[in-house]
Amino acid sequence: MIVMKFGGTSVESQEAIARVTKIVGDHSHRRPVVVVSAMAKTTNELLDVGREAAAGRREHALAIVHRLRTHHLNHALQLAGAGAADLERYIRTHFEWLEELVKGLSIVGELSPRSMDAIASVGERVSSLIVTFALRAARIPVQHIDARRVIVTDDRFTQAAPIFDQTYARLKEELSLVARSAVVVMGGFIGATRDGQTTTLGRGGSDYSAAIVGAGLDAEEIQIWTDVDGMLTADPRIVTGAHRVKSISFAEAAEMAYFGAKVLHPATVLPAVEKNIPVVILNSRRSDAGGTRITSETMPSTNPVKSISSKRGITIINIHSTRMLMAHGFLRRIFEIFDRYETSVDMVSTSEVSVSLTLDNTENLDDILRELRTFAEVSIEADQAIICLVGENIRHTPGIAGRAFSVLNQNNIRMISQGASLLNLGFVVADSDVPTAVSALHNEFFSELDPAVFD
């Protein structure tokens, strides 16, 4: 059995879903469980619906709902063949439900994380139905499963964490048998608490759903179908000539994802690593492009750097001890504050009297600063970015940092860190320097390519 996850762009239109039907059909002998994202841009629009409704702009919120409904109907119905009338009814029911929610929210004037998840879930609930009907119309035996029946999570709405033992038990109960005789289709990104409240796993969470389903069902392989040929040596929106990485280790892929390679959700690899299930990234527009295979082993390569990631919109916090030397317990006090505000820190560097660290989530920044200032001098620098060189061989190759510095000499490097994992080397630069810095690093480290690992 395999898991096939299709991202938003892979189900963005009638043509895209027709390609999905073909790809799933080609793999039907491997007994796929299909996990789908919402149609591209839908989740963003749904979140706008929630915000507009709660801000009292009811008519605008309803206009977005109607636009979304039309878009879904336009792209879905022809795919459904004889099922078109049933599918239309389902789609309309979901959007009617959303309309009612909008009306309620605009009266209450408040958007709780719980309502946000209820609204956001519509994207995957509908897209998974559309794909189910498209497969059925293509005469592929198929069964739709509501993800909320199997993905059990805690109640941290908008960022819910799966409760693995219960989820795995439900997956086995609900899916194992069905998946033997039919392609199972379910929405990614969404789940539910034990008492049935709808939750979401965080933005980009459909990859995570795929990994959870794969791990729970002991899949042979987890395929992540997207709009690029695989994991590339850099973000293709920044570097036009980025190359496909044919194979990469779990550790490297996790590092890339964490430091900004949007192609994979950072948490995805964990459940797959634990069960040693290979993850393959593939292009739904070019199904024969080869993809990237993520496995537990590292392929030896003459290129020490496998990829360059960048995470933008970072804030640096500089914390100076107000005593001459850093007092005992200073770091503990600092990190306790971040812990309390559930704010994770990406990079840290310390000296005798100061600590600098980076955040990407500034939601609680004001409170954090207020608390830090009770015992330290604090300054912040916004609009920064982390650039990370990732590769297991960085640690065994002398001179990588020197080469990177010589290339980055035009850019003001604000922080440097070699992660404890030793497979990344990170720099913080001004966000506006990212395009030139990443391109320059890419020229430096990928002018020659090991054909065993890169395409």
Question: Per DSSP, what are the bridge partners of residue 428?
Answer: 386, 415
Query: Does 189 participate in binding ligand ASP (rule CB under 6 A)?
Result: yes
Q: How many CB atoms lie within 10 A of CB 47?
A: 17
Take residue 245 and report the two structure tokens written for it.
């990485």
Residue 43 binding result from ligand ASP, ligand ADP, Mg ion, none, given CB thresholds of 5 to 8 Å by partner type: ligand ASP
Query: Does 206 participate in binding ligand ASP (rule CB under 6 A)?
Result: yes
258-277: which residues touch ligand ADP (CB under 6 A)? 261-263
Nearest to 231 by CA among 280, 266, 273, 270: 280
Nearer to ligand ADP, 233 or 411 (CB): 233
Give min distance, CB of 155 to ligand ADP, in A.
25
Of the candidate residues 32, 50, 204, 216, the single one contacting ligand ASP (CB under 6 A): 204
- Length of the chain (residues): 455
Nearer to ligand ADP, 5 or 136 (CB): 5
Burial of 413 per CB tally in 10 Å (0-12, 13-18, 19+):
middle
- What angle in degrees, to the nearest 10, is found between the helix axes of 42-54 and 58-76? 160
Torsion of CA 103, 106, 108, 112, to 10 degrees: 100
Nearer to ligand ASP, 33 or 425 (CB): 33
Query: Does 304 participate in binding ligand ADP (rule CB under 6 A)?
Result: no
Nearer to ligand ASP, 188 or 426 (CB): 188
167-206: which residues touch ligand ADP (CB under 6 A)? 204
Torsion of CA 164, 188, 204, 53, to 10 degrees: -110
Q: What is the largest CA-CA distance in the chain?
A: 77
3-state secondary structure of 64: helix
Taking CB under 6 A as the binding criterion, the range among 36-44, 152-160, 307-315, 416-424 that sits at the site for ligand ASP is: 36-44
Q: Using the CB atoms, write b or e for 319-332: b if 16+ within 10 Å.
A: bebeeeebeeebee
Residue 358 binding result from ligand ASP, Mg ion, ligand ADP, none, given CB thresholds of 5 to 8 Å by partner type: none
Taking CB under 5 A as the binding criterion, the range among 7-15, 53-61, 146-154, 395-403 that sits at the site for Mg ion is: 7-15
In whole angstroms, what is the distance from residue 374 CA to residue 370 CA?
A: 7
Binning the chain into helix, strand and coil, the percentages to the nearest 5 are 45, 25, 30
Nearer to ligand ADP, 62 or 261 (CB): 261
In whole angstroms, what is the distance from residue 364 CA to residue 124 CA?
A: 29
Nearer to ligand ADP, 226 or 417 (CB): 226
Give min distance, CB of 371 to Mg ion, in A.
34
Of the candidate residues 188, 204, 260, 304, the single one contacting Mg ion (CB under 5 A): 204
- What angle in degrees, to the nearest 10, is found between the helix axes of 84-108 and 42-54? 30
In whole angstroms, what is the distance from residue 287 CA to residue 227 CA?
A: 10
Residue by residue, DSSP assigns 97-135 as: HHHHHHHHHHHHT---HHHHHHHHHHHHHHHHHHHHHHH
Give min distance, CB of 207 to ligand ASP, in A.
6
Query: Does 205 participate in binding Mg ion (rule CB under 5 A)?
Result: no
Of the candidate residues 4, 9, 130, 255, the single one contacting ligand ADP (CB under 6 A): 9
Residue 191 binding result from ligand ASP, ligand ADP, Mg ion, none, given CB thresholds of 5 to 8 Å by partner type: none
Query: Does 39 participate in binding ligand ADP (rule CB under 6 A)?
Result: no
- Contact indicator for 230, 454 with CB cutoff of 8 Å: no
Q: What residue ranges bind ligand ADP (CB under 6 A)?
A: 7-10, 37, 204, 226-228, 231-232, 234-237, 261-263, 307
Q: What residue ranges bind ligand ASP (CB under 6 A)?
A: 7-8, 37-38, 43, 123, 188-189, 203-207
Q: What residue ranges bind Mg ion (CB under 5 A)?
A: 7, 204
